[in-house]
């Protein structure tokens, strides 16, 4: 099988490429990535010489390029996205361009290629943030939860989800969608909570906690997420959405203290900062459908996954120090 992975130099995309080639070494992968600030060729340096792997630098919004690449492709796994909520609050233009228009270009290319080469399977990676926010006593998100995006980022991802479904119903394009909770693990850009806190502590800096730190998120180790996507591709019903959660619903301040403890740091390293605009209170995912239909569930214990993540950043200081030098705000 030949796959097109969009955004394969990013955090989840690069981990997915490693996961897939390790499990299916005979498959061929084309990685299309424009290499924005969050895309890093270093993430895939170890497989650069693999004859079944090819990197193409380019924009998913470039229809001519995308239309050329999809020839002979069997499966598109669409990771490419602008994903940082804070950046979307400051300027939403790139989020609309990449997450909405870029997805439309990919869908049109897949539709056109399907007419020539048979159907191209299209899997779209989305987020739990499209569902909005939960109250303390609300049931977790599931596949039937109404969309209620509350940031420009989540609104752009919601629009992309709707487009993907529309191409299934209108054009019979064989699609699936996954909405996942917060991923963590190696190679995550150090603006996100875990890598930012871990790398700050390595450098002797304090960790910035939004508001009172009581916001709640569900966390999934990146390879548990990748295994879920794999299960959807192999077993999922076309036209369906599957929610992938980690079963780790945790308060931000508790995660902060856990990181501090694992890194032998005291709570004096916490710095409370002004809360994010429109900061969603709580996310949680019910992955019952994926468990029952696909036989999938997360396997990595949170503490074990967090230790692995901390160790990776300790052992790869050159990787993240370069990124922090480029982005003085980190």
Candidates 19, 53, 153, 189; catalytic one? 153
Task: For the chain, state the CA radius of gyration.
Answer: 19
Active site residue 268: no
83: Cβ contacts below 8 Å, ≥ 6 apart? 38, 127, 153
Q: Please give the span between the terminal C-alpha atoms of the chain, in angstroms, as a whole number.
A: 40
CA dist 233 → 1, 3, 77, 174, 242 (Å) = 12, 11, 9, 11, 11
Closest listed residue to residue 30, CA positions, set 63, 7, 62, 61: 7
Bridge partners (DSSP) of residue 209 are 272
Q: What is the pLDDT along the chain (330 residues), one digit of tens a residue?
A: 999 999 999 999 999 999 999 999 999 999 999 999 889 999 999 999 999 999 999 999 999 999 999 999 999 999 999 988 888 999 999 999 999 999 999 999 999 987 666 789 999 999 999 999 999 899 999 999 999 999 999 999 999 999 999 999 999 999 999 999 999 999 999 999 999 999 999 999 999 999 999 999 999 999 999 999 999 999 999 999 999 999 999 999 999 999 999 999 999 999 999 998 888 899 999 999 999 999 999 999 999 999 999 999 999 999 999 898 877 677
Domains of the chain: 2-188+221-250+281-302 (3.40.50.720)
Predicted confidence at residue 85, as pLDDT, reads 86
Output the 3-class SS for the chain. CEEEEECCCCHHHHHHHHHHHHHCCCCEEEEEECCCCCCCHHHHHHHCCCCCEEEEECCCCCHHHHHHHCCCCCEEEECCCCCCHHHHHHCCHHHHHHHHHHHHHHHHHHHHHHHHHCCCEEEEEEEHHHHCCCCCCCCCECCCCCCCCCCHHHHHHHHHHHHHHHHHHHHCCCEEEEEECEEECCCCCCCCHHHHHHHHHHCCCCEEEECCCCCEEEEEEHHHHHHHHHHHHHHCCCCCEEEECCCCEEEHHHHHHHHHHHCCCCHHHEEEECCCCCCCCECCECCHHHHHHHCCCCCCCHHHHHHHHHHHHHHCHHHHHHHHHHCCCC
Q: What is the signed CA dihedral for 35, 176, 96, 196, rounded to 10 degrees? A: -50
Cα 235 to its chain centre, rounded Å, is 21
Between CA 133 and CA 273 the distance in angstroms is 21
Between CA 95 and CA 97 the distance in angstroms is 5
Active site residue 153: yes
Candidates 33, 59, 82, 129; catalytic one? 129
Active site residue 275: no
Q: What is the signed CA dihedral for 216, 279, 61, 107, rounded to 10 degrees? A: 50
Candidates 33, 59, 82, 128; catalytic one? 128
Between CA 160 and CA 262 the distance in angstroms is 38
């Amino acid at each position: 099988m030949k796959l097109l992975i969009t955004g394969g130099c990013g955090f989840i995309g690069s981990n997915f490429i490693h996961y897939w080639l390790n499990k299916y070494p005979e498959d061929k992968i084309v990685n299309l990535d424009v290499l924005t600030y969050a895309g890093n060729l270093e993430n895939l340096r170890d497989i650069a010489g693999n004859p079944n792997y090819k990197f193409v630098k380019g924009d998913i919004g470039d229809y001519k390029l995308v239309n050329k690449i999809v020839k002979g492709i069997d499966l598109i796994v669409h990771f490419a996205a602008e994903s940082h909520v804070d950046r979307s609050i400051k300027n939403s233009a790139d989020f609309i361009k990449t997450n909405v228009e870029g997805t439309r270009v990919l869908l049109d290319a897949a539709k056109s290629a399907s007419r020539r080469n048979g159907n191209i399977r299209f899997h779209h990676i989305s987020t739990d943030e499209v569902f909005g926010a939960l109250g303390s006593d609300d049931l977790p998100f599931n596949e039937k939860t109404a969309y209620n995006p509350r940031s420009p980022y989540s609104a752009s991802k919601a629009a992309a989800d709707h487009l993907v479904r529309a191409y299934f119903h209108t054009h019979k394009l064989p699609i699936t969608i996954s909405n996942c909770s917060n991923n963590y693990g190696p190679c995550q850009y150090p603006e996100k909570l875990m890598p930012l806190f871990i790398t700050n502590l390595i450098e002797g800096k304090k960790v910035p906690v939004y508001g009172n730190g009581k916001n709640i998120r569900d966390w999934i180790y990146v390879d548990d997420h990748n295994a879920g996507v794999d299960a959807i591709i192999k077993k999922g019903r076309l036209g369906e959405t599957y929610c992938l959660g980690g079963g780790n619903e945790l308060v931000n301040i508790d995660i902060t203290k856990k990181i501090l403890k694992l890194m032998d740091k005291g709570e004096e390293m916490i710095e409370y900062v002004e809360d994010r605009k429109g900061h969603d209170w709580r996310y949680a995912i019910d992955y019952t459908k994926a468990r029952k239909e696909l036989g999938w569930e997360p396997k990595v214990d949170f503490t074990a996954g967090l230790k692995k993540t901390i160790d990776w950043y300790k052992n790869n200081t050159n990787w993240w120090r370069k990124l922090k030098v480029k982005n003085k705000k980190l």
